[in-house]
Structure 1
Amino acid sequence: MKVLVTELMWEDGIEELKQTGHTVDYDMELCRKRDDLLKLAPKYDALIVRNETRVDPELLDVAKNVKVIGRLGVGLDNIDLEATKARNIPVIAAKHANATSVVEYVMAAMLDAYRPLADADADVRLGNWDRKFFTGYELNQKTLGLVGLGEIAHRVARRASAFGIRVIGYDPFVTSYDHVLAETGVYPVTTLDELFPESDFISVHVPLTKATKHMINKESFSRMKSHAYVINTARGGIVHELDLVEAVQSEKIAGAYLDVLENEPVQQGSPLLQVESIRLSPHIAGLTDESQSRTAMLIAREVTKVLNGGESLCAVL
């Protein structure tokens, strides 16, 4: 079978595909070369993508031999699931493979907000010794509000609790019997209007849908504490970025950590770049060496399973 990989994939996953007998063509920039992708797609039995490749009806109409699509991650907003379902093409996502890495990013963001060691180091190297300015705060006894209570939020809650952080959460699809509430000790709230005023940190863990687009906006920021931080490792577009800039500049909230943006990469001249307390990273929350190895191996094995006529427990549809 022939497999086309259109974005970054760790080498061990590619080797796994080759060792199971597949021919693999790998171009991590192909996602940005649409015309080339459309010309190549008909030759392949499987596509493996990340988050930049648009898997839409146009691509699927020419990829007539594709039997399975592997997604190196869990976000699916770049894949037209209705179109894949109509063509009976299973989509395999890397279920939970990068969850631990995202969780540790969230913890790092909270620690950085209260103890900015890189800033302290830079200041000392300038010849200063400002112990009062870099006194910082404790996470102990602070409140973390989780927007969405899936697997990643569950793992965040476990680690946050070890720091003595009170964890509350909002998710209309979670009941009191689900493990994140029943076993992790997250206190459920019934609306975001309850969550925002209580939280010192708000961490976003929902997919980007019509319902969640710009879910956190000007009205949301007006309900938050003036020292609150927003952390978004989910998807760009859930947080209204211009409203965020205004909220931070007017000191309605303290700042934000954005790993994902509505338009990636960030454009020079973006208002986000003008606000120092909005910290940006290049969509790396789930990118650690360990997580990417797990992701690549999981997708390689599950795609092979489907190509061999089997079914995958990681199939989205």
Structure 2
Amino acid sequence: MFQIKTFNAIAPEGMNRFDKETYAINQSENPDGIILRSQKLHDYEFPESVLAVARAGAGTNNIPVDKCTEQGIVVFNTPGANANAVKELVIANLLLSVRPILQGAMWVQNLSGPDVEEQVEAHKKQFVGNELEGKKLGVIGLGAIGAMIANDAYRLGMEVIGYDPHVSVDTAWSISRRVKRAKEVSEIYNTCDFITVHVPLLEQTRHLISDKELSMMKPSAKLFNFSRGEIVDTEAVLKAVNDGYLAGFTTDFADERLLNNEKIVVLPHLGASTEEAEINCAKMAARTLKRFLETGVIKHSVNFPTVDMSFHSPYRITIVHNNIPNMLGKISSTIASADINIENMINRGRGDYAYTLVDINESNQQKIADVVAQLEAGEQIMRVRVIENTEITY
């Protein structure tokens, strides 16, 4: 029986994937897996039992990823599950940034009298806006969200230019060939009427847009941040807007310094706040966590490599270890010395750590336990787990 602990309310469409015969939900303080949304875990003391943490969302800033890695805990996220929700919000705000739709709607509500129609026709000129068609949009970060925005903005008639030096093969195939790729990000800063940023928050992306980048933009440009608040330097944006060399800023991350400025729109973190996105994220997080616990397969992890191998043997040994030379030789020789046959094996590394799956044709519990003890005694091995293939009948 696997123990699962939840933080926050997780959509039932996701939690229902954990069958009651195999999983117990919130019945133990020593869980095998954790699933959460926005709960901050930086002060949480992870029990030794925890094998994995799955976040129902793309960002993992609320999870101490480095701490988890050191403890051999795999951290999962759900890239792309909320992409459509964020894309639609960005497109909506692009439209709102050029057409005073909300202002006009609120103005009409204050009208009265039998001549409302005449009043509207007489004063509607004050709400004249512009069109997006023919304007140039720069998209920084062509992941799941950025790629969708680039494609849809092009369909709205915009000229779209994207920048991402690390775009994946899958994403590259999904981006319209009519979206121009910038070789340098400065091309976006120098030429675009609208700039939207969609990159993860890392040490190297903190304040990715600051004084230098803002000074390169056209005074008529408008900047959008639906990625993470810290991606954009707030003080630099305030100075740019107030000094007139940035026309507008829209962000999904509330900051008191940005409030009550007519050139700045602050939203209450609505990016993934749709029923569909919450369900999609919950289903993907549950599916990923469930597969890892039952088979050891890692997919969509932010701290360990993707490792996927079909499971047809009686038992599988999973090993988290330091990424150093000859570890595979040591692992395989330890298993072979116990007269256990290795049927299949895969290893992948990521930075200082690596993950290995070893499928063995053995059902003797004592022999397996002895091998696990030997592996756990290795100085460079952090965590060893044995998974029984429940699909095999002995």
Q: Same fold (TM over 0.5)?
A: yes
The verdict on how the C-alpha distance between 1:288 and 1:301 changes in structure 2, with shifts beyond 3 A counting, is same
Conserved 8 A contact 2:147-2:175: no
CA deviation after TM superposition for structure 1 residue 250, in Å: 2.2
Aligned AA (2:163)? Y
SS in 2 for 1:144: strand
Structure 2 residue 239 is the aligned partner of structure 1 residue 253: no
Conserved 8 A contact 1:245-1:275: no
The verdict on how the C-alpha distance between 1:65 and 1:181 changes in structure 2, with shifts beyond 3 A counting, is closer
Question: 174, 181, 200: which is aligned to 1:207?
Answer: 200
Q: Which residue of 2 aligns with 1:17?
A: 18
SS in 2 for 1:209: coil
SS in 2 for 1:131: helix
Query: TM-score normalised to the size of structure 1?
Result: 0.84
CA deviation after TM superposition for structure 1 residue 218, in Å: 2.1
Question: 86, 94, 117: which is aligned to 2:78?
Answer: 94
The verdict on how the C-alpha distance between 1:69 and 1:175 changes in structure 2, with shifts beyond 3 A counting, is closer
CA deviation after TM superposition for structure 1 residue 69, in Å: 0.6
Q: Which residue of 2 aligns with 1:153?
A: 146
Q: Which residue of 2 aligns with 1:189?
A: 182
The verdict on how the C-alpha distance between 1:236 and 1:165 changes in structure 2, with shifts beyond 3 A counting, is same
Q: What is the rounded CA distance, in whole Å, between the counterparts of 2:211 and 2:174 in structure 1?
A: 29
Q: What is the rounded CA distance, in whole Å, between the counterparts of 2:168 and 2:44 in structure 1?
A: 39
Q: What is the rounded CA distance, in whole Å, between the counterparts of 1:171 and 1:291 in structure 2?
A: 25
Conserved 8 A contact 1:154-1:184: no
The verdict on how the C-alpha distance between 1:246 and 1:103 changes in structure 2, with shifts beyond 3 A counting, is same
Conserved 8 A contact 1:68-1:303: yes
After TM superposition, the structure 1 stretch with the greater mean CA deviation from structure 2, 221-230 or 9-18, is: 9-18
Q: Which residue of 1 aligns with 2:35?
A: 48
Q: Which residue of 2 aligns with 1:293?
A: 279
Structure with more relative contact order (C-alpha pairs < 8 Å, separation 6 or more):
1
The verdict on how the C-alpha distance between 1:182 and 1:18 changes in structure 2, with shifts beyond 3 A counting, is closer
CA deviation after TM superposition for structure 1 residue 6, in Å: 1.3
Identity among equivalent positions (%) equals 29
Q: Which residue of 2 aligns with 1:229?
A: 222
Q: What is the rounded CA distance, in whole Å, between the counterparts of 1:94 and 1:181 in structure 2?
A: 18
Query: TM-score normalised to the size of structure 2?
Result: 0.68
Structure 2 residue 129 is the aligned partner of structure 1 residue 136: yes
The verdict on how the C-alpha distance between 1:20 and 1:90 changes in structure 2, with shifts beyond 3 A counting, is farther
Report the structure number with the largest CA radius of gyration.
2
CA deviation after TM superposition for structure 1 residue 309, in Å: 3.1
Q: Which residue of 2 aligns with 1:30?
A: none
Question: 293, 309, 314: which is aligned to 1:307?
Answer: 293
CA deviation after TM superposition for structure 1 residue 180, in Å: 6.0
Aligned AA (1:239)? V
Structure 2 residue 171 is the aligned partner of structure 1 residue 171: no
SS in 1 for 2:259: helix
Greater percentage in strand: 2
Structure 2's unaligned 5+ residue stretches are: 112-118, 305-394
Q: What is the rounded CA distance, in whole Å, between the counterparts of 2:171 and 2:300 in structure 1?
A: 21
Conserved 8 A contact 1:228-1:253: yes
Q: Which residue of 1 aligns with 2:94?
A: 110
CA deviation after TM superposition for structure 1 residue 183, in Å: 4.0
Conserved 8 A contact 1:9-1:296: yes
Write out per-residue CA displacement over residues 192-234 of structure 1, whole angstroms, 9 at most, x where no aligned residue.
Answer: 3221121111101111112111111122222222222111111
Q: What is the rounded CA distance, in whole Å, between the counterparts of 2:21 and 2:136 in structure 1?
A: 48
